[in-house]
Structure 1
C-alpha cells in the first residue's frame, strides 16, 4: 500500500520575506511603544493613587494632632475626654478615642466614639486600625469602607501619657475617618483617561511604525524588482543568439555547411552575445544607481546605419530596409542607443509584416536627434496602444521587453519614445535624443 507523502510547503519568495520582515518591524515597533506607554501609565496611576492618599493622611494627621491638645488627665493621671467629646461629638470627620489595656498588651477599648458620626464604619475596623498603630508604635493609615460600602481612609495616631518613659507603650490611639469617594472617582477618571490615551498612542505608533517600515523596506523591494527585470531582460536578449548558436551547431553536425563558415558565424554570435551581456550588466548598474549614463558626442546617423546593417544580416527572411539619415550629433551613451535602435528594428522586423512576407521598413534620422522606424505592417493593436512600453506587454505573443528597454534608454537620456500609426498603415516609432548644443 502506497502512503501519501506529506506535501512540503513552498519556501516564501524574496518579496514575501521582505513583506514579512516589514510586518515584524511594525509589530516590534508597536510592542516597544506599548511597553513604554504602559510603564509610564502605571507610574502615573500609582503616583496619583499615592498622592491623594498622602493628601488625606496629611489632613487627618492635622486633625488628630489638634485633637491631642483637647485630651486632659485628672489628678490621678486618668485620661479625661470630656472636652474632646464636646468639641468633636458632631464633627466631621468623626474621631474615636481608644485606650490601651495595660493588663493585656495590644488590647484596646473604645473610650469615646461620636454619637452622630457623618461616616459610620464598623467597630472592628476602628479597633484593627488602633491595634496596627500600637504594634507599629506610630501613625498608620488604611483604606476602608463604611457600613454602606462607601470608600474611606482610616487614620490611627497613638498618644502617650505625660509621664511615660521610652519603654512604655502608647496610652491610647486616636482614630479618625475621612471620606475618599471624590478622590477615588477622580482617580478612576484618570485611569480611564490614561488607558484610552495609551490605546490611541499604541495604535498611532503601530501606524507610524508600519509607514516607517514600509519606507525602510522600499529599497529592498525596488532592488528585487530590478533583479527580476534584469533576469527577464537577460533571458529576452540572449534567447535569439542562443537559438542561432543551436541552429548553427545542428547544421554543422549534419555537414550541410563549410566548417570555416561555421566557425566565423559562431565567432560573430559569441561576440554579439558578449556585447549583449555587457549591455545588460551596464543597464543593471544604471538602474541600481551604481553607474551613470556615459554621455558623449555621438554621430547618430552613423550608429543607426551600422545597427541597420547588423540587424539585416541577422534576420531571416532578409527584410527590405531603406535608410534616410542626415548628419546628426547627439549626446548619448553609444551602447545604450545601439540597443534601443536594435530593439526598435527587431520589433519592426517581427511585427511589421504579414506572415511569410519580408518586412518593409523605413528608418530615418533627423537633425533634431530623432530616429524614426516605420513599418508597413498591420499597425498597433488597440488593446496594447496605451501600455505598449510596459514590460511584458505585447500584442503578438512576445514578451514585449524590447520596447520597454528602448523606452527606458530614451528616458535615461532625457529623451522620449513615442508610437503612432504611420503613413503606410503600419506602426511608427520615434526615438528622440538630446542633441549637442
Structure 2
C-alpha cells in the first residue's frame, strides 16, 4: 500500500507542529509553576529568618533592663539565646553622641561599620519597635539584622542587635532552583516525547485512510483498465465497419454493465473498509456466480474451461464476482499466455479452484503473491516478485477473509499454478427454498 508523498509530508509537518506546540505549552506551564515555587520558597525562607532573628532580639531585649540610666547586661552572659545568633550585641548612644557597642558575642559574623550601627540605632528609635534590615558586616558577608529597643522609662536607652547569616538559606534556595530547572527540563523533554507519540497515534488513522484511498484508486484502475480498453476497441471497430456496429454496440453495452458492477463492488469494499457500510451476506449459488463472472470476461473464447457442481455459500455477489474475475484474469495473464492448454476453473463444496499451465509458483512466494505491496511477475520456472501493486490476488484474499474463508496458492500436479478461494458452504434449513445467484438480479431457485 502506497500513500501520496505530499500528503504524508503534510501530515508529518503537522505532527512536528503538534509536538512543538505540546512541548511549548508544557514548558510555559512548568516554567510558570517553577517560578511560583521558587518565589514562594524565597519568601518563606526570608519570613522564617526574619521571625527567628526578630524573636531572638526581642527576647534578649526583655532579658536586660535599665535602672535610672544604668544598663544591666548580666543576664546576657547566662542566656543561651545570646549565642544562638550569628552576632549578638547591645548598643548605646550616651548623650546623643556616637553609637557605642556595650556588649557583643559573635558566632563567626562581624558587626556592621559605624555608619551601619548608627543606621540601626536611628531606625529603631524612629520606628519605636523592632527594626529589620539586611546589610553587610565588616567582613563583607550579607547578614539579616534585627534591632529591638530596651526602654528606660519612656525613652529608648539601648538597642539589642541579633543577626542571621543569609548564606546557608541562599545556598539552599539556589539548590532548590537548580532542581526545579533540571526537573522542568526533564518534564518538558518527556512531554515533547509524549506529545510526539500521541500525535503519531492521532495521525495513524489519517495515514490509514490515505492508504485505503490510494489502494481504492489503484484497485479501481486495475479493475476498469481492461474493460475500458475493450470498449474503446469495440467502438473503433464499429466505427470502422458499419456492418459490425450493432454487434460492437451490444458488446459495448455489456461491458458498460460489467463496469457498473465493478464500480458497485469497489464502492462496497471502500465503504466496508472505512466503516461506513456493512457487509450483507445472503445465500447464493456459487457455481452460477462463477459461470456468469467468467462469461463477462472479454475475449476468452477457448481459453477458460469451467466445471461446476451446485454449491451454496453466504456472501456478497459483487465482491465474490470481483474475486473470481481476478482469479481467472491472473491465471490468463500468467499461465494461458505460456501454454496452449486452457485455464481450468472448478467449483465444488464452496471452493473455487483456478489452475493454469504456466511456470507455477515458487514455494517461498506462495504467500507473498497475496500481498498488495508486490507485483507478480513469473520468470523461469518460478514466480519472481518485483515492485508495484499486485492487487488482483490481494483482493481475492481480502474477499475470502471477509466471508470467513481462505485463499491460498500452490503448484498444480504436472506443473502450473493452482489458486483456491474457499468459503464456508451454506447448508439451508427446511424453510430455505430460494438462494441468490449471480443471475436474474441475481435470484435463482435451487432444484427441488
TM-score tier after normalising by the smaller chain length: 0.7 to 0.9
Paired residues of 2:19 and 2:199 also in contact (CA < 8 A): yes
Residues 248 and 179 of structure 1: is their aligned pair in 2 closer, same or farther, counting only changes over 3 Å? same
Match of 1:80 among 66, 71, 74: 71
Residues 116 and 389 of structure 1: is their aligned pair in 2 closer, same or farther, counting only changes over 3 Å? closer
| 2:88 matches 1:95 | yes
The DSSP-based 3-state class of the residue aligned with 1:258 is: helix
Match of 2:299 among 278, 299, 315: 315
Paired with 1:424 and 1:131, the residues of 2 have a C-alpha distance of 118
Paired residues of 2:363 and 2:410 also in contact (CA < 8 A): no
Partner of 1:365: 347
The DSSP-based 3-state class of the residue aligned with 2:375 is: coil
The DSSP-based 3-state class of the residue aligned with 1:80 is: strand
| 2:15 matches 1:26 | no
Partner of 2:381: none
Partner of 2:185: 199
Quote how far apart the aligned CAs of 1:218 are: 1.5
Paired with 1:108 and 1:297, the residues of 2 have a C-alpha distance of 116
Paired with 1:323 and 1:426, the residues of 2 have a C-alpha distance of 17
Q: Spell out, residue by residue over 1:247-280, the C-alpha distance to the aligned partner (whole angstroms, 9 max, x if none).
A: 2232233236522122212211221121111111
Paired residues of 2:354 and 2:418 also in contact (CA < 8 A): yes
Residues 324 and 251 of structure 1: is their aligned pair in 2 closer, same or farther, counting only changes over 3 Å? closer
Paired with 1:307 and 1:120, the residues of 2 have a C-alpha distance of 106
Where in structure 2 are the equivalents of 1:283-302 lying within 5 Å?
A: 283-302=269-288
RMSD between aligned residues = 3.2
TM-score normalised to the size of structure 1? Answer: 0.83
TM-score normalised to the size of structure 2? Answer: 0.81
* Residue-pair matches, total: 412
Paired with 1:230 and 1:192, the residues of 2 have a C-alpha distance of 56
Where in structure 2 are the equivalents of 1:27-426 lying within 5 Å?
A: 27-75=20-68, 78=69, 80=71, 82-83=73-74, 91-93=83-85, 94-98=87-91, 109-112=99-102, 114=104, 118-123=108-113, 124-128=115-119, 139-143=130-134, 152-157=143-148, 162-163=153-154, 173-255=159-241, 257-311=243-297, 314-316=298-300, 318-355=301-338, 358=340, 360-367=342-349, 369-380=350-361, 384-396=365-377, 399-426=389-416
Quote how far apart the aligned CAs of 1:130 are: 5.5
Q: Which runs of 5+ in 1 are unaligned?
A: 1-10, 165-169
Comparing 298-307 with 196-205, greater Cα deviation is found at 196-205
Residues 221 and 157 of structure 1: is their aligned pair in 2 closer, same or farther, counting only changes over 3 Å? farther
Paired residues of 1:391 and 1:401 also in contact (CA < 8 A): yes
Higher normalized strand content (fraction of residues): 2
